[in-house]
Chain A
């Protein structure tokens, strides 16, 4: 393992732009290497085998990362994860059922660094779901490559138990005419810090990044989106919605969109909306648009943070619905726009029930 010893990590101090919102002391040592490493590999294929899909563990030397990262956790995953969990969908295959990947740790047996590679062949079409439950300290890198003309709907569910720590990058590389949709749901854990990032590698590509998060007392949920428009005629849409309730509930949403000089014909819009349901919670929302060419179709962003709308609650209550039921309806409605995009009734119902539970926990 000489390479491990050779790596010089730049351990963040917390003053760096990328880390200034993150409580490093609660990262369980994922960033500075002080965490006690466990041996268990938690990811497994939950759905049945399907023709055109392979899911295996391979030696990491055989599948080097095509996307280096400045993020120290991702660097550690690349250098230290023992193997790579590799999922590939063959060219020209349209899957009729989702590929369901799941992680389950009964209780945290030390930390885990996990490298995942997902590859879609030319004109492949798939839905991939990654479910995270249980208690874990997880550093993770999911690197996704979409072949020309392929489409992927990528759903990640952070339904962690209390106390879990999860720092990850979900990086998608889109080749010509491919279409990527991600739906990121973060409702559990003590600290979740995700980097949903997109790199357009060919023209005619389109990415839609959707997300919902709900932080209750003491939870830190951070989503740092980065969309890199480096080629012409690509389209991106970002829409994240969050709710916060309870003391020291903290969410961070960063939306970096970079339109390089070569990216003529870019069409991008990003949106983040937060619902503050109690005092003592804090939502940071920072959209950030960097544009190096004027030859684009459109580029915009919006960010709002608000409280319950008294008029909505009055309307619902005037029909006999009690206060807690009215709040539940409004919050469910707020998230429905994105949750209903998942397209799996069982998961949608489970998430809505979890959201009801988070609300109840916060005393609504």
Chain B
């Protein structure tokens, strides 16, 4: 049982013209097995929340706390956050030329598990994860995210989610750029990870479409760098009908 606790989180990006405040006091608690949808318009700070928790150097924490089972996440280096059990499925996964998917996955698994996984069981593990996401076995010999289609990138992210077994995962617009079939396959992967590992999920999205496949327990509406409304799944239906208009500019 794990708990990610975000309290009063304030985040800025430093620009040439000085710091720009993006998050203005975010409170959020995510426990194992819970799915939290974070919904909001473009520019409301959803992705900033995701990247700040993962430790992207572009963002400066100006206030508040983030803890995972009591440990101060903000003091951890990026890799230490992953080792503590956090995972970020990125909206735009980065190309790493010359590094094969299989080499990358094994290096990550070795780092997270503290020892290299036994080759025979590992090959089976990877094969099963790829199979489950309808991925061609030849995929593992390609370079990380290089020349991947939008759908392949997202499958690759969710394959890592299943293989690396984090405690809490933040999915940053995993639904963007997916057709209906890919959305279903990717969603099934997320649901498996939740079922098998009792994963806690923060699902960031603009659209309610993905919520038909991944049922949220809680919905948080994000606007102007903070949570402005919270509720159960029924809140998503309201957003579907009325949009974000009433929250913007508030």
Which A residues are within 8 Å of any B CB, using their own CB? 309-312, 314-323, 325-326, 329-330, 332-337
| Among B78, B103, B143, B160, contact of A317 (Cβ-Cβ < 8 Å) | B78
Residue of chain B at shortest CB distance from A241:
B98
* A319-B98 CB under 8 A given contacts A325-B111, A329-B107, A333-B143: no
Q: Does B164 contact A (CB under 8 A)?
A: yes
Write out the residue numbers on chain A whose beta carbons fall within 8 Å of the beta carbon of B143: 333
Complex Cα–Cα for A321 and B83 (A) = 9
Tell me the minimal C-beta distance from B71 to chain A in angstroms: 16
Does A330 lie within 8 Å of B99, measured CB to CB? yes
Q: Does B135 contact A (CB under 8 A)?
A: no
Write out the residue numbers on chain A whose beta carbons fall within 8 Å of the beta carbon of B98: 332-337
Q: Could you pull out 11 A-B pairs where Cβ atoms are within 8 angstroms?
A: A312-B96, A314-B56, A315-B93, A315-B96, A317-B55, A318-B55, A318-B81, A319-B104, A319-B108, A326-B79, A330-B99
Write out the residue numbers on chain B whose beta carbons fall within 8 Å of the beta carbon of A322: 77, 79, 111
Does A317 lie within 8 Å of B90, measured CB to CB? no
Complex Cα–Cα for A311 and B94 (A) = 7
Residue of chain B at shortest CB distance from A334:
B98
Does A325 lie within 8 Å of B78, measured CB to CB? no
Complex Cα–Cα for A314 and B55 (A) = 8
Write out the residue numbers on chain B whose beta carbons fall within 8 Å of the beta carbon of A314: 54-57, 78, 94
| Among B56, B57, B99, B112, contact of A320 (Cβ-Cβ < 8 Å) | B112
Chain B, range 76-130, C-beta contacts under 8 Å to A: 77-79, 81-83, 87-88, 90, 93-99, 103-104, 107-108, 111-112
Does B79 lie within 8 Å of A312, measured CB to CB? no
Tell me the minimal C-beta distance from A214 to chain B in angstroms: 15
| Among B90, B97, B107, B112, contact of A337 (Cβ-Cβ < 8 Å) | B97
Residue of chain B at shortest CB distance from A335:
B98
* A329-B96 CB under 8 A given contacts A320-B108, A320-B112: yes
The 8 A-B residue pairs with the shortest CB-CB distance, nearest first, are A333-B98, A336-B98, A320-B82, A319-B108, A317-B78, A333-B99, A320-B112, A315-B94
Tell me the minimal C-beta distance from A53 to chain B in angstroms: 34
Complex Cα–Cα for A337 and B143 (A) = 11
* A321-B111 CB under 8 A given contacts A310-B57, A314-B56, A335-B98: yes
The A-B contact count (CB < 8 A) is: 82
Does B160 lie within 8 Å of A332, measured CB to CB? no
Total chain B interface residues with beta-carbon distance under 8 A: 29
* A320-B83 CB under 8 A given contacts A315-B93, A333-B97, A333-B98: yes
Given contacts A315-B93, A320-B108, 20 further A-B pairs with CB under 8 A are A309-B94, A312-B94, A312-B95, A314-B56, A315-B90, A316-B104, A316-B108, A317-B79, A318-B88, A318-B90, A319-B82, A319-B112, A320-B83, A320-B111, A320-B112, A322-B111, A323-B79, A330-B96, A336-B98, A337-B98
Residue of chain B at shortest CB distance from A321:
B111
Tell me the minimal C-beta distance from A345 to chain B in angstroms: 15
Write out the residue numbers on chain B whose beta carbons fall within 8 Å of the beta carbon of A333: 96-99, 143
Complex Cα–Cα for A317 and B94 (A) = 12
Complex Cα–Cα for A335 and B99 (A) = 10
Write out the residue numbers on chain B whose beta carbons fall within 8 Å of the beta carbon of A317: 55, 77-79, 82
Write out the residue numbers on chain B whose beta carbons fall within 8 Å of the beta carbon of A337: 97-98
Complex Cα–Cα for A334 and B107 (A) = 17
Complex Cα–Cα for A319 and B96 (A) = 13
Write out the residue numbers on chain B whose beta carbons fall within 8 Å of the beta carbon of A329: 96, 99, 103-104, 107
Residue of chain A at shortest CB distance from B81:
A318
Does B96 lie within 8 Å of A321, measured CB to CB? no
Does B97 lie within 8 Å of A325, measured CB to CB? no
Complex Cα–Cα for A318 and B160 (A) = 11
Complex Cα–Cα for A316 and B94 (A) = 9
Complex Cα–Cα for A320 and B87 (A) = 9
Does A318 lie within 8 Å of B96, measured CB to CB? no
Complex Cα–Cα for A314 and B79 (A) = 9
Write out the residue numbers on chain A whose beta carbons fall within 8 Å of the beta carbon of B83: 320
| Among A311, A321, A334, A336, contact of B79 (Cβ-Cβ < 8 Å) | A321
Write out the residue numbers on chain A whose beta carbons fall within 8 Å of the beta carbon of B78: 314, 317-318
Complex Cα–Cα for A317 and B83 (A) = 10
Write out the residue numbers on chain A whose beta carbons fall within 8 Å of the beta carbon of B95: 312
Tell me the minimal C-beta distance from B210 to chain A in angstroms: 22
Complex Cα–Cα for A82 and B88 (A) = 66
Complex Cα–Cα for A323 and B90 (A) = 19
Complex Cα–Cα for A333 and B100 (A) = 8
Residue of chain B at shortest CB distance from A329:
B99
Residue of chain A at shortest CB distance from B94:
A315
* A323-B96 CB under 8 A given contacts A317-B82, A318-B54, A318-B88: no
Complex Cα–Cα for A176 and B143 (A) = 37
Tell me the minimal C-beta distance from B156 to chain A in angstroms: 11
Tell me the minimal C-beta distance from B116 to chain A in angstroms: 12
Write out the residue numbers on chain A whose beta carbons fall within 8 Å of the beta carbon of B108: 316, 319-321
